[in-house]
């Protein structure tokens, strides 16, 4: 079973590395995002959003649903962690264990 897990992990790593070969290099000024998206945000953000801060304009207006989704995921993960820890502490106390 351990060998099978290792083979699967190596195959998955190879697949991810192969998939990343088509991505542009970090900081590449000729990448599609740098050529098309960024200049549009820089040129039209203030006119379209009214926000003088470019970062706020992008996060709050252009990507608001994405930001809301990320915040929701983080909130749900935190709430689930608290529920799991409370349940574990409750079981320990019910079994006669101490909190120490």
pTM of this structure: 0.49
- The pLDDT value recorded for residue 84 is 94
Cα-only R_g, the chain: 23
pLDDT of residue 96: 66
* DSSP-based three-state secondary structure for 50: coil
Query: Please, what are the averages of pLDDT over each run of 10 residues along the chain (100 residues)?
Result: 94 96 87 86 91 90 90 97 88 65
The structure tokens listed for 79 are: 């709430």
Q: What letter does residue 60 receive in the DSSP assignment?
A: I
> For the chain, what are the domain ranges?
29-62, 65-100
């Amino acid at each position: 079973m351990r060998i099978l897990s290792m083979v699967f992990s190596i195959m998955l790593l190879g697949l991810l590395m192969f998939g990343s070969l088509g991505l542009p290099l970090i900081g590449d000024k000729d990448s599609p995002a740098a050529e098309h998206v960024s200049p549009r945000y820089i040129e039209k953000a203030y006119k379209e959003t009214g926000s003088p801060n470019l970062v706020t304009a992008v996060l709050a207006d252009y990507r608001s649903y994405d930001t809301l989704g990320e915040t929701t995921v983080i909130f749900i993960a935190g709430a689930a962690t608290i529920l799991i820890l409370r349940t574990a502490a409750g079981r320990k106390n019910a079994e006669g264990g101490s909190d120490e």
